[in-house]
Amino acid sequence: MTKIKHIPVMLIETIRALDIKPDQWYVDATFGQGGHSREILNRGAKVVAFDYDQNNIEANQDTFALEIKAKSLILIRENFAQLERIISELDLSIAGILFDFGTTSEQLLSTDRGISFEGEDQELDMRLDDRLGVKARDLLAVLGEKQLQKILEVFGGEREAKKITRTIIKKRRAGEFITTVGQLVKLVRDTKTHRPSRIHPATKVFQALRIAVNDELSSIDRALPQAIKILKPGGKIITIAFHQGDDRIVKNYFREWERVNKGQQLTKKVIKPTAEEISNNPGARSSRMRIFEKNK
């Protein structure tokens, strides 16, 4: 498979915020294609990188072969919700932690996971970690109407979640199960009110199902308390969120940490990508950065 070039989001802002020191250890909690990690390594620091997607781990073994051999990069195939356990086992002192909650271009465009709208016959899988048991098609087949509607509303911000859910349930009762990308896209198109929009009508539905399948928000909720615990005094946590669900979790934790005097938010308002970056990388459009510094 041809490797798709992924452009790291807000790279300059991230590196500036981390204030990287040579020979210090940093965590890239969402390795992806390694764009952020590469810049950290280029500044003489060391990186522990997490990614539960085996494709990302395998695709970058050659690219980062020298760093892996030199042990300046440790690649971990694990969910960042295991952050504290892994860092404890490695017995490392961590100077900064980056969470980029977006998906990579390769993940979004891959034709074997059911995340992309391309390929109508793709199975609705959506697992980014193939060790997980439940696929998106399973959720559509077994969840009750209220559960499914809540997923579409909360994880996707889908305004017509009720209509879409009722259509899915109606088809299910008639013995017609939604198992492929094409079936779901058609259902959403046929169900939603047609409005002029620059985004695909099924975007929010697919986002919601992907988040649910991969337990993304729960992982963030579990990981952030671990991050502040393992971080050295004076260290920083950088988060890059792409929708209200993940950003809300971060915002609430940062406010609470500041309230109990664990440190201070360095971003009272989120940092947004520049117009130039959005022009060069449209996928960055919805990204929002927050920075928290632990007390020294």
Helix, strand counts (H, E) of the chain: 14, 7
Q: For residue 184, is it within any domain?
A: yes
Portion of the chain with pLDDT greater than 90, in percent: 81
Q: Are residues 242 and 102 in the same domain?
A: yes
Q: How, if at all, do strands 263-265 and 25-28 pair?
A: unpaired
Q: Are residues 98 and 141 in the same domain?
A: no
Q: Within 13 A of 53's CA, how many CA atoms are on the CB side?
A: 21
Q: For residue 200, is it within any domain?
A: yes
- pLDDT bin (cut points 50, 70, 90) of residue 1 is very low
Backbone CA torsion sign across 177, 157, 221, 285: positive
Q: Which of 171, 190, 213 is the last residue of a domain?
A: 213
Structural domain of 264: 11-106+216-294
Number of domains in the chain: 2
pLDDT per position as a tens digit, 82-109? 999 999 999 999 999 999 998 766 666 6
Q: Are residues 99 and 228 in the same domain?
A: yes
Q: At residue 53, does pLDDT exceed 60?
A: yes
pLDDT per position as a tens digit, 203-249? 999 999 999 999 999 999 999 999 999 999 999 999 999 988 999 99
Q: For residue 112, is it within any domain?
A: no
What is the CB neighbour count within 10 angstroms for residue 174? 8
Average pLDDT over residues 173-201: 93
Query: How far apart, in whole angstroms, are the C-alpha atoms of residue 155 and residue 245?
Result: 6
Q: For residue 92, is it within any domain?
A: yes
Q: Which of 213, 239, 260 is the last residue of a domain?
A: 213
3-state DSSP call for residue 68? helix
Q: What is the pLDDT of residue 107?
A: 64
Q: Are residues 222 and 287 in the same domain?
A: yes
Q: Are residues 244 and 277 in the same domain?
A: yes
Q: Are residues 206 and 222 in the same domain?
A: no
Q: For residue 124, is it within any domain?
A: no
Could you tell me the two tokens for 66? 């020298």
CATH number where 175 lies = 1.10.150.170
- pLDDT bin (cut points 50, 70, 90) of residue 194 is confident
Which residue, chain included where needed, has tokens 């671990």? 226
Distances (CA, A) of 9 to 30, 82, 279, 283, 291: 12, 24, 12, 8, 15
CATH number where 282 lies = 3.40.50.150
Is there a contact between 238 and 291 (Cβ–Cβ < 8 Å)?
yes
Q: What is the pLDDT of residue 2?
A: 44
Cβ-based neighbours of 212, under 8 Å, separated by 6 or more: 136, 139, 151, 155
Q: For residue 253, is it within any domain?
A: yes
Q: For residue 52, is it within any domain?
A: yes
Q: For residue 120, is it within any domain?
A: no
3-state DSSP call for residue 71? coil
Q: Are residues 21 and 99 in the same domain?
A: yes
Q: Are residues 102 and 223 in the same domain?
A: yes
Please tell me what DSSP assigns to residue 53. Answer: -
Cβ-based neighbours of 124, under 8 Å, separated by 6 or more: 114, 135, 136, 137, 140, 178, 179, 180, 181, 183, 184, 209
Helices (H), the chain: 11-18, 35-42, 54-59, 65-69, 83-90, 105-109, 136-142, 145-156, 161-173, 181-191, 203-213, 216-230, 244-259, 275-280
Q: Which of 173, 194, 213 is the last residue of a domain?
A: 213
Q: What is the pLDDT of residue 209?
A: 97
Q: How far is CA 65 from the centre of its chain?
A: 25
Q: Are residues 33 and 96 in the same domain?
A: yes
Q: Are residues 64 and 142 in the same domain?
A: no
Q: Are residues 149 and 177 in the same domain?
A: yes
Q: Are residues 189 and 235 in the same domain?
A: no
What is the CB neighbour count within 10 angstroms for residue 215? 16
Could you tell me the two tokens for 227? 């991050």
